[in-house]
Amino acid sequence: MTPPDAADLVAALIPWYRRHRRDLPWRREVDPYRVLLSELMLQQTRVDTVVPYFERFVARWPDLASLAAADEEEVLREWSGLGYYSRARNLLRCARLVAEGGLPSTVSELRALPGIGPYTAGAVASIAYGVSAPLVDGNVERVLCRLDARSEDPRGAGRAPLWARATELHRAAGDEIHPGDLNQALMELGATVCTPRAPSCVRCPVAAGCRAHGQGDPLAYPRRAPRRRPTPVRGVAGLLWIDGGIVLGRRPAGLLGGLWEPVGAEHPGGVEPEAALVAAFATQVGVEIEIVSRLGVVVHTFTHRRLTTIVYEVRGSGAPTPKARYTEVRIVSDPESVPLSTLARRILAVGPQLGLPLAAEGS
């Protein structure tokens, strides 16, 4: 069975998309800023999770100029719970770089901006500006691998052929099909029909030409090399209340830079967790503590690490001051008022006096 013809795929896909596309807030008003914001939020995050964040974000900062004037801590606070906070920091950097002239329209210029890779650049260029720019995200990857029954790992040797196939589809679309519609149709198909574990081939507009469907085994594709297991890491965290507030530290940089968290640390084997926590408070915020009780355990997976954190209630003496790990320390009565990492929210949710809603896993 030969790979399906590109023109036939486009001819079947576009009418289907126009009939069945979801009503999403970033599709109601096509604007480069809204496209960029939605694409950054959607990276590694489900659509139903993103929608309320997107709506709150554009209500507060409706355009690049207003976002460019925003304080980073406020931006991170609005992002709190979405995870992968480098996306928010890069978005703010982009806004400050292009606030006056607006986002550029070419893929090469977009890729020169912080945090914008080939996929995001293709999305903004095609959807917002009508540029014929292919893109391959996880949904498109899955659709194309199944259509052609590709045997190569799409994250390795099969990556370049996928982009070539996406480019072929754009050439077949010609000038009559909006490039953004083609890209969104491929993404929509992967998100709603050609799903990872339960593809609905009976609803698929291109099933007749799909090689994986013809073989009777769409779940065999994409054929990826096994992911390596996350490295197990142990940690401790302490909830210290002072004058009705909880002690939080702010990290200066790195994965969780600019975000607030309860005081804690990773602890190596051979060290008792209580001793590791006592040392963390002394070296990080200059407070001598004693353990009151063990509150629970939080297991949180980063990309390559699985962190198991024991959470304690502690009491201490002395005024907290920022030391080794933190640039700032505060006693916060309302933790929702500061930007928290997802891990920090989950640790705080263990505290009986806080009752914060649990966030989904993410950085």
Tell which residue, 321, 300, 318, 309, has the closest CA to residue 351. Answer: 309
Strand partners, 315: 290
In the 8-state DSSP scheme, what is residue 234? Answer: E
Q: Which residues, other chains included, contact 253 with Cβ-Cβ below 8 Å and sequence gap of 6+?
A: none
Strand partners, 261: 249
Tell which residue, 112, 87, 70, has the closest CA to residue 36. Answer: 87
Tell which residue, 60, 117, 53, 62, has the closest CA to residue 82. Answer: 53
Q: Which two tokens stand for residue 259?
A: 């975000």
Q: Which two tokens stand for residue 277?
A: 């926590």
SS3 99: coil
Length of the chain in terms of residues written: 363
d(CA 265, CA 81): 21
Tell which residue, 82, 22, 96, has the closest CA to residue 52. Answer: 82
d(CA 314, CA 175): 66
The single residue listed with the structure tokens 């699985």 is: 306
d(CA 99, CA 78): 20
> Do 118 and 107 meet the contact criterion of CB atoms below 8 Å apart?
yes
Marked catalytic residue, from 29, 39, 72, 188: 39
Q: Which two tokens stand for residue 298?
A: 């939080």
Examine the residue annotation and report whether 261 is marked as an active-site residue of this protein: no
Write out the catalytic residue numbers. Answer: 39
